[in-house]
Chains A and B, each alone.
Chain A
Amino acid sequence: MRRLRSLVRAALKANFGFAVLSHRLFREKKDIWIAAVVVLAVIGIFPTLYGYLRLIKGLYGLLQPLGQEQAILTFSLLAGQFLILLFGLYYVVSAFYFSKDLEMLIPLPLKPVEVMLSKFTVILVNEYLSVLAIVAPVLIYFGILAKSGLTYWTSAVVVYFFLPVIPLAIVSLLVVAMMRVVNLGRKKDALIIVGSLILIAAALSLQFFINKSPGSEPDAQAMVRFFASPDSLIKRIGAGFPPSIWATKALAGGFSGPGLLNLLIFVGTSLAIFCGMLVVAEKLFYRGLIGIREISGRRKILSPARMSRMVSSGRRPVQAIFRREWRIMNRTPVFLLNGVLTAILVPVIFIIMAKAGGGDDTFILMRGLAATKPLYVILSAAAFLIVCGCLSGTSSSTFSREGSQFWMSKVIPVAPREQAIAKFLHSYVIALLGIGAGSAALLAIFRLKASLFLAALAFALVGAVALTAIGMIIDLARPLLKWTNPQKAIKQNLNVLLALFADLGILAGLGFFITFLAKSGVSGSVVLFIVFAAVLLLSWFSCLFLLRMVDKRYQEIEV
């Protein structure tokens, strides 16, 4: 047990890098700006938090007279667990199978289950932080609004503690089983990607069935029956994932008979699945892990003719670097899953949610809005496309992804700005994939008119230039080049988060600007023209700034 404790402690320290951070902050007095960014981010969260709390209060006010207020808890617990189920997959695949410290851990006299448990704990702690924003405000504000007693707060702590266990243990079980199969084949990387896609599809299908609306409109009597039972809405929301129902009932019932019973079921199920995972891990974890990164190639001397065909006839450096970026991104499962697939998946999730939630209502709403306020339809559609294009973090991790290989970019005789152009083109192509998928979502859900869609597309194509360049600027300012797990370069990279904040800030700023123009009585087409010119200018200046900055930064970055 003591061995496990030190292993977990070491894994947590390594993951969060507390020692390195405190050394850099307090000893070397470097990265002080991180503290400032954290403070700014915390300040920036307040308006969103305020809006979220108002939403909770509004829903509570709406549902409380019907006796259905506990559904708010179910919804938030379910959302948290679903997110863990979906995104936990990335973390589990990456931490269990691709962290470099595994090479050091496997030869140590540790049981497979202990190694896996240390990785599981790190992800668990990350998940507590991830769902904090969604679940904690609801748990706390609900408790305040319902004037709950000590039993509620005690249950809330227990529920929060066990919340990620079930989804994460399920994902871990599936991944450990998947990797056992993957490790049998030669094309391991391809199998990892296919297997992960199947798991993501399964998670999305679950979401589809959870959200699926009933086919026919319920009649009045059915509605009365529905609302007569205090937990009908809870059951409806949580039907696809019962642990959220148990957790809600545990919270609502306190330490009464049904409350305690549901708490016991929730905790008991969590522990049972967790123990099941440990049993499977002991048997399968190392069988899936050992050799997963060993790729055996077929030894074959190329014939002179084939060799001659395969030797390139000389590409321009920009082309060569673009091809390098493209190949490395697409051949590294963690990068492909997080970058390229996220760009395509996000719009797909939108389509599924909209279709499951009754796409016709949104279509009718959009048709009405398009007739009266085409300006807002164009700009909202453009914003949606831009978000789809730039959400993947490809541009804001473009330098970080090179990691320890960045030395090659420093020594090759290619001007930094040429390298930046190649990287920009690569990130922009990924953005175009996202915009393409987003366009499919827009057309499928809202059936936009061609003229409105094309206008939105033009905005998105220009806007994506700016956001791609800004993402690269943020990553270039402080690239994360020292990582042992590729997940850290893209998913757990602060630059990706900062770029996301910057993107949302720019879109929000444009939103205020548009509202201001519209309120000043400027006509719709003039507003469109002005905003388009502004986005064009922003794109121009951000590209210019990127090219200036890259020359300077390549000299400064030492490896």
Chain B
Amino acid sequence: MIELQRVSKSYNKGRVKAVDDLTLTVNSGEIFGFLGPNGAGKTTTIKMIVGLLRPDAGTIAINGLDAQKDSLKCKSITTYVPDYPAIYERLTGLEYLNFIGDVYGVPRADRLERMTKWLEIFELAPAVSNPIQSYSQGMKQKIVLIAALLPAPQVMVLDEPMVGLDPRASYHLKELMREHCDQGETLFFSTHIMEVAERLCDRIGIIHKGKLIACGTMEELKKLSEDMSLENIFLELTDK
């Protein structure tokens, strides 16, 4: 469960308000899609949830734990996939996954089982002993996704996770996102692909100019704009 209470964040000494008084709850077992135009505040919100940025005001809680005061506990149950992951290119895929397993304290047996499973699914097994430097952008995205799955986190936060993935990997990712939440865990992700959000998310939030302008299930959102598609709803809401 992720709870944001009146969270604000600004840049340039308050002149640019990236996130403005955002209150939002993502329940356990829920896939939450976060939409918004470029520069709306999606990545800033995500970075605050995972502790990369500090909110100027407000509180963030992960499964009831304060993300600032109990940051280590929060981090141990949360994993994050950034939009353009800068990862340790000089390590091999396996070394990187081992590193993640070590810092999250994943037991060896679980580690071996999960690594084998996800490497197979994402077709990365043949490249796992090569340096990440030799990977394509999509392969880098896959290795970061596998690293995020490795600790079997209670909360996953993904920023544009489909970018760079081939259709098969995209499909598998959507499957595992559903599987993850069906086990009662929480998933928060941002995307620009309306179709994915419409079909996959239990609830959707739309952020514009730092403010949450709409939030609810697909049905609830449709009521706002005369039964239109999510794309049309998005365009209408963010055109103001």
Contacts and interface: CB of A to CB of B under 8 A. Distances in A.
Interface residues of B, number: 49
B52 A311 contact: no
Contacts of A558: 47, 52-54
B131 interface: yes
A555 B54 contact: yes
Interface string A302-334: 101001101111111101110110011001100
Interface stretch (B32-40, B98-106, B173-181, B182-190): B98-106
A219 interface: no
Nearest to B78: A411
Contacts of B125: 301-302
Contacts of A29: 13
A296 interface: yes
A184 B229 CA distance: 54
A314 B71 CA distance: 23
B72 to A, nearest CB: 5
B102 A411 contact: no
Interface in B105-141: 105-108, 111-112, 115-116, 125-131, 133-134
B98 A311 contact: yes
B115 A311 contact: yes
A311 B111 contact: yes
Interface string A322-364: 0110011001100000000000000000000000000000000
Interface in B36-88: 47, 50-54, 68, 71-73, 75-76, 78-80, 82, 86-88
Contacts of A412: 75, 100, 103-104
Nearest to B130: A297
A516 interface: no
B52 A407 contact: yes
Nearest to A335: B90
Nearest to B116: A307
Contacts of A217: none
Given A411-B80, A558-B54, A331 B103 contact: no
A324 to B, nearest CB: 6
Contacts of B75: 411-413
Given A296-B134, A312-B108, A410-B52, A405 B103 contact: no
Contact of B127 (A28, A299, A414): A299
Contacts of B78: 411
A319 B78 CA distance: 22
A147 interface: no
A327 B13 contact: no
A321 B102 CA distance: 9
A412 B73 CA distance: 10
Contact of B103 (A310, A317, A559): A317
A83 B130 CA distance: 38
A319 B50 contact: no
Interface string A442-473: 00000000000000000000000000000000
B21 interface: no
Nearest to B107: A314
A311 B75 CA distance: 23
Given A296-B134, A413-B103, A328 B90 contact: yes
A412 B151 CA distance: 11
Given A405-B88, A411-B50, A413-B75, A297 B12 contact: no
Interface of A: 28-29, 293-302, 304, 307-308, 310-317, 319-321, 323-324, 327-328, 331-332, 403-405, 407-408, 410-415, 555-556, 558-559
Given A307-B116, A324-B91, A558-B52, 11 more contacts: A293-B133, A295-B131, A295-B133, A310-B94, A311-B94, A311-B98, A321-B103, A328-B91, A403-B86, A404-B86, A410-B52
30 contacts: A28-B12, A295-B131, A296-B134, A300-B129, A301-B126, A302-B94, A302-B129, A307-B112, A307-B115, A310-B129, A311-B98, A315-B102, A316-B102, A323-B99, A324-B88, A331-B90, A405-B87, A405-B88, A407-B86, A408-B87, A410-B50, A411-B75, A411-B79, A412-B104, A413-B73, A413-B75, A414-B103, A415-B72, A555-B71, A559-B52
Interface of B: 12-13, 47, 50-54, 68, 71-73, 75-76, 78-80, 82, 86-88, 90-91, 94-95, 98-108, 111-112, 115-116, 125-131, 133-134
